[in-house]
């Protein structure tokens, strides 16, 4: 078996040297444990936070520990009566080919006849739930309103725009490069897609939102936020989900604080609701999410795209690329088949 440990805390952008791949002996499960063989490992932006000791909502991975991560895995041996060899589960097994897991690390059993099991890490799992719950609890898009979301071809953003459309809102997607923009517009059905790398990005966004912005689902921060913020309408809602543009910052760039008074003034004078959230706080509505999303997936009203890389050794490079927009769709590492 193989696993990837955190070897060093990155300074700025992570590098391959911050990770270490090692071979280990397969262990036998003890009473109450199951032995898992990982089929898919999910790579997600939050993992950058786990590599750092900066104060956050979850504790960091320690140096020499296995990198954390959500996985779809198959039970290959079980000493827990609730699981049998062959079961496929969603589990926090981390960056490794095999894992000894306690039932506590297993989220749920998966039924491969319901949906492709990989979707439990994307559209039909945590990222999809993030989009669904952030809109339901905070964004609340209504028919005729304008919603904007960045990282629009990605795991969360793609679902945000499609749900907005299902509610009758106008969806404007922001993505990096012409291929992602074409996908967002032509395949996901957003009304407009804008490339945030275009030189006149802010002008294009303004033109795409003639009635201003009612809901801005914030995934990115940085230059995208700078272009969005002046367009926010009175009573705009901003679910603050992520700030990926600054995840590799080490805190030395304090220049952005200069905009704080102006920002606070606009939040006040335009009665803007800006609300940060971590999806787990809404976990009570997860069954409802599974039901509604399951329906949309079955009737074809929710589309998704996966970006699958092969083999555990590819994980560090793929993760480094995720923080720079190299992924196109939900990023997964494929380790094996059932
Ligand atoms: P994606 O699949 O969207 O992949 C990340 C994308 O971010 C990249 O492909 C890239 O897309 C975009 N990006 C990266 N750097 C920049 C930049 N400097 N400026 C603009 N865009 C950039 O990832 P997810 O859907 O998994 O996550 C999206 C966001 O949601 C992240 O911020 C993540 O941390 C957050 N999140 C928050 C959760 C919560 O509970 N609050 C839960 C899950 C995710 P492009 O090429 O289009 O620019």
Testing ligand 1's pocket by substitution, the residue of 119, 156, 193 carrying the most ligand atoms inside 8 A of its CB is 156
Q: What percent of the chain has pLDDT over 70?
A: 98
Return the residue whose CA atom lies nearest to atom 27 of ligand 1. 156
**pLDDT score, position 254:** 59
* ipTM score for this prediction: 0.99
Taking the CA of residue 330 as reference, the ligand 1 atom at the shortest distance is 2
Q: What is the mean pLDDT of residues 186-207?
A: 98
Residue-wise pLDDT for 83-97, tens only, equals 999 999 999 999 999
pLDDT exceeds 60 at position 283: yes
Per-residue pLDDT band for 259 (boundaries 50, 70, 90) equals confident
Token pair for residue 60?
Answer: 């960091």
pLDDT exceeds 60 at position 53: yes
Q: Which of 260, 192, 204, 272 is nearest to 233 (CA)?
A: 272
**pLDDT score, position 262:** 84
Contact 271, 235 (CB under 8 A): yes
Contacts of 302 (CB under 8 A, 6+ apart): 123, 159, 162, 293, 296
Query: Any idea how long the chain is?
Result: 338
Testing ligand 1's pocket by substitution, the residue of 219, 227, 274 carrying the most ligand atoms inside 8 A of its CB is 219
Contact 232, 210 (CB under 8 A): no
Q: What is the mean pLDDT of residues 308-320?
A: 98
For ligand 1, is residue 245 a contact (CB within 6 Å)? yes
Q: Which CATH class is domain 126-281?
A: alpha beta
Whole-angstrom distance, CA of residue 19 vs CA of residue 37: 21
How far does residue 140's CA lie from ligand 1's centre (Å)?
21
Residue 271: count other Cβ atoms within 10 Å of its Cβ: 11
Q: What is the mean pLDDT of residues 149-167?
A: 98
Q: What CATH number does the domain located at 2-122+305-334 have?
A: 3.90.180.10
Per-residue pLDDT band for 168 (boundaries 50, 70, 90) equals very high
pLDDT exceeds 80 at position 194: yes
Taking the CA of residue 328 as reference, the ligand 1 atom at the shortest distance is 9
**pLDDT score, position 256:** 56
According to DSSP, residue 128 is labeled H
225: part of which helix (H) or strand (E)?
A: helix 222-228
Whole-angstrom distance, CA of residue 244 vs CA of residue 236: 22
Backbone angles phi, psi at 200, to 5 degrees: -105, 35
The alpha carbon of residue 154 and the mean position of all alpha carbons in its chain are separated, in whole angstroms, by 7
How far does residue 150's CA lie from ligand 1's centre (Å)?
8
Return the residue whose CA atom lies nearest to atom 31 of ligand 1. 242
What is each CA distance from 293 to 12, 20, 106, 215, 230, in whole angstroms?
36, 37, 21, 21, 33
Q: What percent of the chain has pLDDT over 90?
A: 93
- According to DSSP, the β-strands at 88-91 and 306-310 are unpaired
pLDDT exceeds 60 at position 289: yes
Q: Which of 39, 35, 102, 44 is nearest to 69 (CA)?
A: 44
Q: What is the mean pLDDT of residues 173-197?
A: 98
According to DSSP, residue 251 is labeled S
Token pair for residue 232?
Answer: 């926010």
Q: Which of 121, 130, 63 is nearest to 92 (CA)?
A: 121
**pLDDT score, position 249:** 86
Contact 213, 233 (CB under 8 A): yes
Token pair for residue 277?
Answer: 């959230």
Whole-angstrom distance, CA of residue 183 vs CA of residue 164: 17
Structural domain boundaries of the chain? 2-122+305-334, 126-281
**pLDDT score, position 250:** 72
How far does residue 127's CA lie from ligand 1's centre (Å)?
10
Decide if 2-122+305-334 and 126-281 have a common fold: no
**pLDDT score, position 230:** 96
End-to-end CA distance of the chain: 17
**pLDDT score, position 264:** 87
User: How many CA atoms, within 13 angstroms, populate the side-chain half-sphere of residue 59?
Assistant: 3
Q: Which of 15, 3, 4 is nearest to 320 (CA)?
A: 15
Residue-wise pLDDT for 93-127, tens only, equals 999 999 999 989 999 999 999 899 999 999 999 99
Q: Which of 175, 202, 207 is nearest to 188 (CA)?
A: 175
Per-residue pLDDT band for 260 (boundaries 50, 70, 90) equals confident
192: part of which helix (H) or strand (E)?
A: strand 192-195
């Amino acid at each position: 078996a193989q696993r990837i440990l955190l070897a060093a805390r990155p300074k700025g952008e992570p590098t391959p040297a911050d990770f270490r791949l090692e071979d280990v002996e397969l262990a036998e499960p003890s009473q109450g444990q199951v032995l898992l063989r990982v089929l898919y490992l999910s790579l997600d932006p939050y993992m950058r936070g786990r590599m750092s000791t900066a104060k956050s909502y979850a504790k960091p991975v320690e140096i020499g520990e296995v990198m954390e991560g959500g996985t779809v895995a198959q039970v290959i041996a079980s000493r827990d009566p609730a699981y049998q060899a062959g079961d496929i589960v969603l589990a926090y097994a981390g960056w490794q080919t095999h894992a000894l897991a306690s039932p506590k690390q297993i989220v749920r059993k998966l039924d491969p006849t319901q949906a492709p099991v990989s979707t439990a890490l994307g559209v039909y799992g945590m990222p999809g739930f993030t989009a669904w719950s952030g809109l339901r609890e905070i964004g609340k898009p209504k028919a005729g309103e304008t919603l904007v979301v960045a990282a629009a071809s990605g795991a969360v953003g793609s679902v945000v725009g499609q749900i907005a459309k299902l509610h009758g809102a106008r969806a404007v997607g922001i993505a990096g490069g012409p291929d992602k923009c074409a996908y967002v517009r032509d395949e996901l059905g957003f009304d407009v897609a804008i490339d945030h790398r275009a030189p006149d990005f802010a002008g294009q966004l303004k033109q795409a939102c003639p009635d201003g912005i009612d809901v801005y689902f914030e995934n990115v921060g940085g230059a995208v936020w700078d272009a969005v913020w002046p367009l926010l309408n009175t009573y705009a809602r901003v679910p603050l989900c992520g700030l990926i543009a600054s995840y590799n910052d080490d805190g030395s760039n304090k220049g952005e604080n200069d905009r704080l008074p102006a920002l606070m003034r606009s939040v006040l004078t335009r009665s803007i609701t800006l609300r940060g959230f971590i999806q787990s706080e809404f976990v009570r509505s997860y069954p409802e999410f599974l039901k509604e999303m399951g329906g949309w997936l079955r009737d074809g009203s929710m589309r998704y795209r996966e970006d699958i890389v092969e083999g555990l050794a590819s994980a560090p490079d793929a993760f480094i690329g995720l923080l720079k927009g190299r992924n196109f769709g939900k990023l997964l590492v494929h380790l094996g088949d059932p």
